[in-house]
């Protein structure tokens, strides 16, 4: 069955509605289990022998010297930057964060049927029957084939043996900078991949460095997108509302000297690489991978960083 654009936007907004009803949560829920990954490739926060996209990919680009967007103050105000703080939407609790798993190139591929088939990459996908599924309504499944460096992601996933059913899905070649077709979704509202934008334990703690942009959610988005995003799921035409793919960075003069551990690493990455508006959800909720090893007390430091400590980077033109 094909789902209308209106229905799709409702599905993307559903996590926010549920979060409001329950008094917590951002654009993402939790997970069952999670692969902790390998030592990483040489650039872009890789996993195993796979770099997460080429060095010149937007996700891996240093934007610390890029000009500030002329509309930065209005964008930040629309995202409630004067009243809302950064919030880690992940931690040691398995009910938060987005899980992922890795497989080898010989992992059997299984059929996947999509409700939004016209904007999804057709299967089969190498998703194991016990792949970790994000808790909550989004139910993302992320699988990285580390032999071929191909990323498979699906949204609203349900295992229906021998394969899976999902609302939408996308396949990304991590050796390529090719974007999805304009106006196409992915497993993410912005048409972006999810895994490249997660805060991962192996980077933030084990390696002590994050070398790529992150992803975050906001409550209200414009009906437009900026590349590398390829899809909008907005609720307004207000030019001050952030479009999908809007990139913000932590201001260079924000003092991080009092922060410690993973929080300090995350903030330094946000100064250099920034983060993309990737989904509808609670304002300033930053996404991370599910991992029981997270130190929640350490991550609490992020909640002291106000939204107005960020500025919008001028990165491209609007697409509708």
Residue 161, Cβ neighbours under 10 Å: how many?
Answer: 7
First to last CA, the chain: 26
pLDDT over 70 for what percent of the chain? 86
CA distance 291 to 100: 10
Whether pTM > 0.95 for this model: the answer is no
pLDDT digits (tens, 9 = 90+) for 45-64: 789 899 999 999 999 999 99
Burial class (CB in 10 A: 0-12, 13-18, 19+), 223: middle
CA neighbor of 121 nearest in space, from 199, 182, 180: 180
- Between CA 273 and CA 291 the distance in angstroms is 23
Structure tokens at 171: 């396949």
> CB of 173 within 8 A of CB of 150?
yes
DSSP structure class, residue 149 = T
How confident is the model over 274-305, as pLDDT tens digits?
A: 999 999 999 999 999 999 999 999 999 999 99
Sign of CA dihedral 48, 54, 56, 57: negative
Indicate the average pLDDT of the chain: 90
What pLDDT is attached to residue 44? 65
Cα–Cα distance between 271 and 88 in angstroms, integer? 16
pLDDT at 97 over 80: yes
């Amino acid at each position: 069955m094909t789902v209308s654009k209106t229905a799709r936007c409702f599905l993307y907004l559903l996590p926010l509605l549920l979060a409001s009803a329950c008094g917590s949560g951002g654009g993402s829920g939790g997970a069952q289990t999670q692969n902790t990954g390998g030592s990483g490739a040489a650039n872009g926060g890789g996993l195993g022998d796979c770099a997460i996209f080429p060095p010149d990919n937007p996700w891996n680009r240093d934007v610390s010297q890029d000009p500030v967007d002329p509309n930065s103050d209005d964008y930040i105000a629309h995202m409630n930057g004067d009243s809302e703080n950064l919030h880690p939407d992940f931690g040691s609790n398995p009910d938060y964060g987005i899980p992922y798993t890795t497989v080898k190139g010989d992992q059997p591929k299984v059929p996947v049927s999509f409700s939004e088939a016209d904007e999804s990459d057709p299967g089969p996908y190498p998703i194991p029957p016990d792949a970790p599924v994000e808790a909550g309504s989004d139910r993302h499944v992320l699988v990285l084939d580390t032999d071929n460096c191909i990323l498979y992601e699906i949204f609203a996933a349900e295992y229906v043996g021998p394969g899976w059913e999902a609302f939408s899905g996308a396949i990304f070649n991590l050796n390529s900078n090719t974007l999805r077709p304009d106006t196409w979704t992915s497993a993410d509202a912005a048409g972006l991949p999810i895994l490249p934008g997660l805060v991962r334990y192996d980077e933030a703690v084990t390696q002590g460095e994050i070398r790529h942009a992150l992803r975050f959610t906001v409550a209200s988005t414009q009906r437009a997108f900026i590349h590398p995003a390829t899809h909008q799921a907005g609720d307004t035409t207000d030019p001050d509302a952030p479009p999908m793919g809007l990139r913000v960075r932590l201001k260079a003069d924000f003092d991080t000297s009092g922060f410690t551990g993973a929080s300090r690493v995350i903030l330094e990455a946000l100064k250099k690489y920034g983060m993309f508006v990737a989904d509808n959800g609670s304002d300033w909720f930053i996404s991370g991978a599910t991992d029981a090893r997270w130190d929640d007390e350490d991550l609490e430091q992020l909640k002291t960083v106000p939204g107005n400590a960020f500025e919008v980077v001028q990165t491209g033109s609007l697409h509708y």
